[in-house]
Amino acid sequence: MGGGDTRIPRMSRPGVAALLSFVIPGVGQIYNGEIWRGLFWLVVTPGLWVGSGGLLGWVCHLASAATAYNRADLKERRYLRAGLSRPFAT
């Protein structure tokens, strides 16, 4: 293959990332390519569910979904600012 690599980096869809993390905390972060952040949420959220008897679990669960959305949105805006098109756009 000659020439430069013309592949466009994969971007995350913010809504998909949020939904994944809402269903299973941390999966949206992993979908965004942030493995360590995802593993953090996968460990901390169940720990708070159990440790607080469910009181703080919801807070952590929703924070995980919000974080996944915000990080995916930030990633998308950076790609668009760099002039890259959205590879998942039709």
Confidence check: pLDDT of 9 > 80: no
For every residue of 26-83, DSSP letters joined together read THHHHHTT-HHHHHHHHHHHHHHHHHTTTTTHHHHHHHHHHHHHHHHHHHHHHHHHTT
Quote the percentage of the chain above a pLDDT of 90.
51
Residue 25 reports pLDDT greater than 70: yes
Look over the chain and give the mean of its residue pLDDT values, rounded to a whole number.
Answer: 82
> Which domain range does residue 23 map to?
14-76
Give mean pLDDT, residues 61-77: 91
Domain-located, residue 32: yes
- pLDDT the model gives residue 1: 45
Asked if residue 29 belongs to a domain, the reply is yes
Number of domains in the chain: 1
